[in-house]
């Protein structure tokens, strides 16, 4: 007997753009240029340009497995470079332009990238980064505005990617001719709670992540959607949007370096955006702009938030002012990055709930020693995950990042309700030990953050000679109408008396990390000592 068989079909990421070019050739990628103008290009055309990027890289000596770094905003040039790099089997190492040159140089030293593709306005940072170390030999600018490239006192050759594309003898570099487990990307964690670690993405992992993301109960992107990707392309695969949107032939809208409320409102109106994706603080900026200047964004139907907890008052404020539905989610750089997502249209949606995991990712609650809790629904535990899109080993580390059963410890504390919805209750590293007892800042932040007058709230431990640490509350309010007593009132009814913060510090602007999360490292440095 001879069994039948199925065709070999490697799960490589180039197939998403090739599919869009063939079956949705006229659908667009729209990007905002640095001068405020909007550029648009069809999937058919951007597919050809991405192939030309591969040709240029090949001519410059880039081969399969080589790392090519990018230091760029959400733009057409960055998008086509992604596919040009990963399509040929090289690894796209995204760098965060909101970090220092020293930090970026340390990352480049690890990846060994010899070529850096950069947005033109980031050239000074690119040069400074290359000077910090690593093996960068050449910088190619993604934006060709015709301006002269100023000389600098370094040995780095600076050119324009478009010129290199034109000089390539042939753009016909075969895409996808490699194993699906080939690395596709490298992204370092945000470092908000510790030193950044490199996470290597694979074609197979990201392909399966995209299939999970496209499910109706997850992100559910459709061909007639116009998706505004405010989440940066240099952070955690841009939450998978550069793969998911072309996979269905939707319009992808890239805002460039500008994420102000005014800029986003204009893009939403001009491009008929139906789905916006980004951290909560981005949408707060949009709401504040509309509240000040007036106007609406009638095409917008839904906003997917992640990367930071969503205060209930902010969620209600966004939904009422924009007339949209907020869909909460949870993920990590190490998860490629989506872990769970709330179901759109669910009448039982709560800001604190991050939804259920879709097929392809599993959750486990353990005690502090890593032993599974007997009851997985209800109790708080340490959250572990596993699946084909979850990190197995960090870049450059010879030790696994998982336990013997393949579970990755997220560092989060969480509960899972009776319906399987995940609720992140805190970070294990954020716990405050006061007088030998633990205080969970996330519970305090959730209660204070539910007040309508509060925009953002954070709790950190401040050194104390008697108790070791004591909690203090830092808040950014909508106005100054709320008193200290009113800020603490919800705590008196819901937490132990010794959890009540010893001090309240009001901030004009909460410090945010490069990914939009509250920067607790900065808060501890500024306010964690008497």
Please identify every residue annotated as catalytic: 189, 334, 433, 438
Are 318 and 287 in contact, with CB atoms under 8 Å apart?
A: yes
In three-state form (DSSP H/G/I as H, E/B as E, the rest C), the secondary structure along 289-344 is HHHHHCCCCCCCCEEEECCCCCCHHHHHHHHHHHCCEEEEEEECHHHCCEEEECCC
CA distance 514 to 97: 8
Contact present, 277 and 304 (Cβ < 8 Å): yes
For residue 437, which phi and psi values (nearest 5 degrees)? -115, 150
CB 356 within 8 A of CB 340: yes
CA–chain centroid gap for 293, Å, is 29
In the DSSP assignment, the letter for residue 282 is H
- CA 415 to CA 420: how far, in whole Å? 9
Measured CA to CA, the distance from residue 25 to residue 524 in angstroms comes to 50
Q: How far is CA 326 from its chain centroid?
A: 17
CA 390 – CA 337 distance, rounded (Å): 8
Q: Is the peptide bond before 337 cis (omega within 30 degrees of 0)?
A: yes
Look at the block and give the residue holding tokens 């969480």: 414
Beta-bridge partners for 356: 341
Indicate the DSSP class of residue 402. B
Let me know: does 338 contact 345? Beta carbons within 8 Å.
no
Q: How many CA atoms lie within 13 A of 524 on its CB side?
A: 15
- The token pair that represents 317 in the structure block: 């404020």
- The number of angstroms, rounded, from the C-alpha of 115 to the middle of its chain's C-alpha atoms is 24
Closest CA to 13 of 107, 108, 79: 79
Euclidean distance between CA atoms 134 and 106, whole angstroms: 7
**3-class SS at 252?**
strand
Q: How far apart are CA 92 and CA 106, in angstroms?
A: 16
**With contact defined as beta carbons under 8 Å apart, do 312 and 351 qualify?**
yes
d(CA 517, CA 110): 25
**473 — phi, psi (to 5°)?**
-110, 130
Q: Are 212 and 359 in contact (CB under 8 A)?
A: yes
Rounded to whole angstroms, the Cα distance separating 148 from 315 reads: 46
Question: Residue 33 carries which DSSP code?
Answer: -
């Amino acid at each position: 007997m001879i069994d039948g068989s199925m065709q070999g079909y490697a799960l490589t990421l180039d197939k998403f753009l090739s599919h869009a070019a063939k079956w949705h050739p006229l659908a667009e990628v729209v990007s905002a240029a640095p001068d405020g103008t909007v550029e648009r290009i069809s999937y058919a055309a951007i597919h050809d340009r991405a192939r030309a990027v591969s040709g240029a890289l090949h001519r410059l000596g880039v081969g399969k497995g080589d790392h090519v770094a990018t230091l760029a905003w959400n733009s057409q040039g960055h998008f086509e470079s992604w596919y040009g790099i990963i399509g040929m089997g090289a690894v796209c190492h995204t760098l965060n332009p909101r970090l220092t040159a020293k930090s970026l140089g340390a990352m480049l030293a690890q990846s060994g990238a010899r070529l850096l593709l950069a947005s033109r306005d980031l050239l000074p940072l690119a040069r400074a980064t290359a000077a910090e170390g690593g093996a960068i030999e050449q910088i190619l600018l993604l934006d060709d505005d015709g301006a002269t490239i100023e000389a600098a006192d370094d040995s780095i050759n600076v050119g324009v990617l478009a010129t290199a594309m034109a000089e390539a003898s042939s753009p016909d570099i075969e895409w996808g001719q490699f194993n699906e487990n080939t690395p596709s990307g490298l992204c370092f964690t945000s470092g908000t709670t510790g030193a950044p670690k490199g996470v290597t993405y694979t074609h197979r992992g990201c392909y399966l992540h995209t299939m999970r993301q496209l499910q109706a109960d997850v992100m559910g992107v459709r061909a007639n959607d116009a998706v505004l990707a405010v989440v940066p392309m240099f952070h955690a695969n841009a939450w998978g949007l550069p793969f998911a949107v072309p996979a269905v032939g939707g319009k992808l809208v890239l805002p460039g370096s500008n994420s102000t409320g005014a800029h986003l409102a204009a893009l939403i109106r001009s491009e008929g955006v139906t789905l916006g994706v980004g951290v909560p603080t981005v949408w707060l900026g949009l709401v504040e702009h509309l509240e000040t200047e007036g106007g609406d964004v009638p095409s917008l139907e839904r906003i997917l938030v992640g990367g930071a907890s969503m205060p209930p008052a902010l969620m209600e404020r966004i939904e009422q002012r924009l007339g949209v539905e907020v869909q909460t989610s949870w993920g990590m750089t190490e998860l490629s990055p989506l872990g769970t997502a709330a179901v759109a249209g669910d009448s039982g949606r709560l800001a604190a709930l991050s939804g259920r995991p879709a097929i392809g990712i599993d959750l486990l609650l353990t005690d502090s020693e890593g032993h599974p809790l007997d009851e997985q629904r209800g109790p708080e535990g340490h959250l572990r995950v596993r699946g084909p899109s979850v990190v197995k080993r960090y870049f450059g580390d010879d030790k696994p990042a998982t336990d013997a059963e393949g579970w990755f410890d997220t560092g989060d504390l969480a509960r899972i309700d009776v319906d399987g919805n995940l609720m992140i209750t805190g970070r294990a590293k954020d716990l405050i030990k006061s007088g030998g007892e633990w205080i969970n800042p996330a519970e305090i932040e959730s209660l204070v953050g539910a007040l309508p007058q509060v925009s953002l709230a954070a709790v950190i431990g401040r050194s104390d000679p008697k108790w070791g640490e004591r909690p203090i509350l830092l808040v950014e309010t909508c106005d100054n109408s709320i008193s200290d007593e009113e800020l603490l009132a919800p705590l008196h009814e819901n937490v132990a008396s010794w959890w009540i913060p010893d001090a309240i510090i009001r901030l004009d602007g909460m410090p945010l990390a490069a990914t939009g999360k509250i920067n607790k490292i900065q808060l501890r440095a500024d306010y964690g000592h008497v």
